[in-house]
């Protein structure tokens, strides 16, 4: 007896011939736009890009219409535009990363992480002084902002997912509105409500308070999403075993969502690590190392960059680029940590 094995067919997959046509279209349009750029008044990379996009779109549409008839005209134009639009979005991202790395790397030197600006000025060449004071300041800011906003954010998320009181819908609305508070307003608020009237003057702690306001909504929303992913069966099983709600939440729901909650915290930190505007009103900005966040001015990486940017001399701008590279590496590693943790399965 012979058995017939049915092979899965994928008629929508591109055949070698289709791929050949696409490659031909890309090659032809690249060649044509090169000729146009060389032969006519259009100049530079941007001229080439524009020609390339136009010619390849037209060719692709012609190929599509020949194959599928006139109905495919709109479809071809639309998909071309969507591909081009998506590609345009990524151009600035890569340009920004490239600039930050190349410009910033030029200013890296050994004493960058061991010295402060106490004995140096922003106008000095880059190899004098360093950004230790700003790095330490940023770590202080992040830690204090975390201590304030992580409990608040997670408890608010628990209110929205576990208690679901009568005001839950409204509170959700308020949290979303809070995530849109401009950073400059958060800084002004801490200036008026803390620095003007309380004994706490411009310092690391005041800056951290302003950052905490920006961090709470991020932590709340991410934690809420994670807590909603915890299977409802787990909660019901806890209650059915006679546990109180407090026991269920503390021993079942929160441990099950632990990785997600850590991700929420990291994303919140990544959100605030690069904030500059609120610090201008609250942190003061010091040039020397200050290990006491409650007294005297402190510095932070974004503030260091800001100072270099505002001064505007070649030396200070070099400092700004180097500072931004350090800041970017910090944000990127936080971001990758959040992704790796968040990618793991729930409850493991």
Partner 1 sequence: MYKIQHMTLLENKSADIPAPRVITTKPRVSDKIFRGVVTSFGMSALLILTLIGIFLAYRGVQTFHSQGWSFLTSYNWDKTVDENGNSVSSFGVGAMLIGTVLISIVALIVGVPLSIAMALFLTFYAPARLKTILVSVVDLMAAFPSVLFGLWGFFVLMPMANYWAKLIYKYLHWIPIFDAPEPFFERSPFIAGLVLAIMIIPIVTSVSREVFAQTPLDRIQAAYALGATKWGVIKAVVFPFGSSGVVGGAMLGLGRAFGETVAVYTVLNIVFAPNWHVLFGAGGNIASLIILKWGEASGDETTALLAAGFILFVMTLLVNMFANFIVRQTLKSGK
Structure token digits, residue 99: 């600039």
Q: Which of 35, 106, 123, 247 binds partner 1 (CB under 8 A)?
A: 247
- Could you tell me which of 225, 179, 197, 216 has the C-alpha nearest to residue 342? 225
Q: Which of 52, 122, 281, 297 binds partner 1 (CB under 8 A)?
A: 281
Q: How far apart are CA 189 and CA 209, in angstroms?
A: 10
Query: Is 127 an interacting residue with respect to partner 1 (CB under 8 A)?
Result: no
**Residues between 294 and 323 with contacts to partner 1, criterion CB under 8 A:** 302, 305-306, 309, 320-321
Candidate segments 14-22, 23-31, 119-127, 177-185, binder of partner 1 by CB under 8 A: 177-185
Candidate segments 21-29, 113-121, 170-178, 289-297, binder of partner 1 by CB under 8 A: 170-178
Q: How far apart are CA 210 and CA 331, in angstroms?
A: 19
Query: Is 46 an interacting residue with respect to partner 1 (CB under 8 A)?
Result: yes
Query: Is 341 an interacting residue with respect to partner 1 (CB under 8 A)?
Result: no
Query: Is 23 an interacting residue with respect to partner 1 (CB under 8 A)?
Result: no
Query: Is 271 an interacting residue with respect to partner 1 (CB under 8 A)?
Result: yes
Q: Which of 35, 173, 291, 292 binds partner 1 (CB under 8 A)?
A: 173
Query: Is 171 an interacting residue with respect to partner 1 (CB under 8 A)?
Result: yes
Q: Within 13 Å and on the Cβ side, how many CA atoms surround 15?
A: 4
Candidate segments 19-27, 128-136, 210-218, 256-264, binder of partner 1 by CB under 8 A: 210-218
Burial class (CB within 10 angstroms; exposed 0-12, middle 13-18, buried 19+) of 37: buried
Q: How far apart are CA 196 and CA 177, in angstroms?
A: 26
Query: Is 74 an interacting residue with respect to partner 1 (CB under 8 A)?
Result: yes
- What does each C-alpha distance from 301 to 66, 97, 102, 124, 138 come to in angstroms? 58, 18, 19, 18, 6
Q: How many residues of this chain interact with partner 1, rule: CB under 8 A?
A: 87
- Give me the residue label for tokens 């003007």: 196
């Amino acid at each position: 007896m012979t058995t017939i094995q049915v092979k899965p067919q994928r008629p929508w997959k591109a055949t070698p011939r289709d791929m050949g046509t696409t490659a031909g279209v890309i090659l032809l349009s690249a060649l044509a736009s090169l000729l146009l750029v060389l032969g006519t008044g259009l100049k530079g990379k941007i001229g080439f890009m524009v020609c390339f996009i136009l010619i390849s779109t037209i060719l692709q549409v012609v190929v599509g219409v020949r194959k599928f008839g006139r109905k495919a005209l709109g479809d071809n134009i639309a998909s071309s535009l969507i591909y081009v639009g998506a590609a345009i979005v990524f151009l600035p991202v890569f340009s920004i990363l490239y600039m930050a790395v190349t410009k910033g790397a030029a200013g890296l030197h050994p004493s960058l992480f061991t010295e402060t600006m106490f004995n140096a000025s922003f106008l000095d060449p880059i190899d004098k002084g360093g950004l230790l004071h700003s790095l330490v300041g940023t770590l202080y800011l992040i830690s204090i902002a975390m201590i304030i906003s992580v409990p608040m954010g997670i408890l608010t998320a628990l209110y929205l997912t576990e208690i679901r009181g009568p005001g839950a819908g409204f509170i959700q609305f308020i949290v979303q509105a809070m995530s849109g508070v401009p950073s400059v307003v958060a800084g002004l608020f801490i200036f008026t409500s803390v620095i003007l009237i309380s004994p706490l003057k411009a310092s690391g702690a005041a800056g951290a308070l302003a950052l905490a306001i920006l961090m709470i909504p991020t932590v709340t929303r991410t934690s809420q999403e994670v807590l909603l992913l915890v299977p409802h069966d787990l909660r019901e099983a806890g209650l059915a075993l006679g546990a109180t709600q407090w026991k269920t939440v503390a021993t079942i729901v929160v441990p099950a969502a632990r990785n997600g909650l850590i991700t929420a915290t990291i994303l919140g930190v990544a959100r605030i690590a690069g904030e500059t505007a609120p610090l201008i009103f609250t942190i003061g900005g010091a040039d020397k190392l200050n290990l006491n966040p409650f007294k005297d001015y402190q510095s932070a990486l974004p503030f260091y960059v800001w100072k270099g940017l505002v001064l505007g001399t070649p030396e200070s701008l070099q400092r700004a680029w180097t500072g931004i590279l350090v800041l970017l590496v910090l944000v990127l590693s936080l971001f990758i940590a959040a992704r790796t943790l968040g990618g793991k399965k729930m409850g493991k």
